[in-house]
Chain A
Amino acid sequence: MSSDSPQPLETDVVIIGAGPIGLFAVFELGLLDLKCHLIDILDRPGGQCTELYPEKPIYDIPGLPIVTGQQLTDRLMEQVKPFGATFHFNEMATALVKLEDGRWQLTTDTGTSIIAHAVVIAAGAGSFVPKRPPVPGIEHFENAGDGIGVHYAVRKMETFRGKNILIAGGGDSALDWTINLAPLAKSLTLVHHRDGFRAAAHSVNQMRELEKEGRVKFHVASVKALHGEPGGLKGVTLAGADKSEWHHEADVFLPFFGLTIKLGPIAEFGINLHENLIPVDTASFASATPGIFAIGDINTYPGKLKLILSGFHEAALMAQAAFHIVRPNEKLRFQYTTSSSNLQKKLGVH
């Protein structure tokens, strides 16, 4: 959280989530001349499409017989380009408050503050956050400070210099950080549940080289317990494949098991939730709170299907309703992109 509060940004609509539905919302709102800011905790657009299955084909997008999650995201980004939306990546929406003038102020974990007339929650199942290993008391070692305790990401490599580092996992992150941190660590140990890795072959080869040189130790093992004072990790208990347990000295533990989805701070926004979903009116996709809309997997209504195509429809109807909130005194002129030179101008095709 930044201590100095910069001037809040102002826009028509703020969208939480830059997955396919959040992106298409930019398009539908853009056709109505509404400007958007988007917030996403990931470092790139696409949400689940690019985080979970970038290379897997999707077969049920109307008009696209086969498209991968990455391709669909790329096409949507191309489609919304004319509307000049502002993207805030690597940020989590943490608070939403109503202002006296009726607008909403949304703030993020990095201190960004955005004031908008309407809020669109297109957050899917929530925020992607690192998977936390089921080791008792692990939360007490998180946020201990630079280079100590448990970290799920490496922000400044230098903070790990001269430390006894323990890394767990078998994917690209685990292997990449093993390779990158080994030269500056006092000691570096990698543990994984099997003697094999899903990481890229060249990374695995590099790790094996470091192991031969004695600069990395590798064990088929898992972390069973953490020892030390909260804030100061001293060591861990490791368990091998044969269930034997031993103590291992470590100042810092870096688990890399990828991301999982948690609803996160949206639950604290004061919006009516039903089993972690936002009930909406299917004429407008408005939530029970005026000015807040919910589209895509995050909403619920009778007959709801969690399909990308349903989310697209929801975005279109939401935009019509949001227009009346953002521009209460204007008449909405419904037009088609095929026949309206006005819309075509906005799209930059004429």
Chain B
Amino acid sequence: MKIVGTDRQGNTREVEGREGWSVMEILRDAGFDIAAECGGACACATCHVYVQDGWYEKLSPPSDAEIDMLDMALAVEPNSSRLSCQIVCSDAIDGIKVTVAPE
């Protein structure tokens, strides 16, 4: 599966996702500037991304823990903001478009 990622400078590139990995892990390992301070524990909101072009609705809805944690994220956009550590790669989201949110 593919992830179309855009960094904070506006550069877009396609990276290969891995079934079962989080989108955060894929983007971080691909060199995107994602702090992911808590290492994927849904505890810091530093892997905040905007999910775009209709992909937000195709994801499983955020858990209560993620909704809570998004309260600590900056520049949250309704129906777009997600924590990328909570989005799991699968063929169902092949081609998902995400933009790294501002720090």
Contacts and interface: CB of A to CB of B under 8 A. Distances in A.
B30 interface: no
Interface string B38-58: 100101111000000000000
Contact of B76 (A56, A193, A260, A261): A193
A197 B71 contact: yes
A197 B74 CA distance: 15
B71 A134 contact: no
A348 interface: no
A259 to B, nearest CB: 9
Contacts of A171: 71-72
B102 to A, nearest CB: 4
Interface class of chain B by DSSP: loop
Interface residues of B, number: 23
A131 B72 contact: yes
A241 B72 CA distance: 17
A315 B69 CA distance: 33
Range class of the A interface residue count: 20 to 34
A48 B71 contact: no
A276 to B, nearest CB: 11
B43 A52 contact: yes
B78 interface: yes
26 contacts: A48-B37, A48-B38, A52-B41, A53-B43, A56-B41, A56-B43, A131-B72, A131-B74, A132-B74, A133-B74, A134-B75, A134-B102, A169-B72, A193-B70, A194-B67, A196-B67, A197-B71, A198-B67, A198-B68, A198-B69, A198-B71, A241-B78, A257-B72, A257-B73, A260-B35, A260-B37
Given A52-B41, A56-B41, A258-B44, 7 more contacts: A52-B37, A133-B74, A134-B74, A170-B71, A171-B71, A192-B71, A198-B68
Interface of A: 48, 52-53, 56, 125, 131-134, 169-171, 192-194, 196-198, 222, 241, 257-258, 260-261
Can you list the 4 inter-chain pairs with the closest CB atoms, starting with the nearest? A170-B71, A198-B68, A134-B102, A193-B76
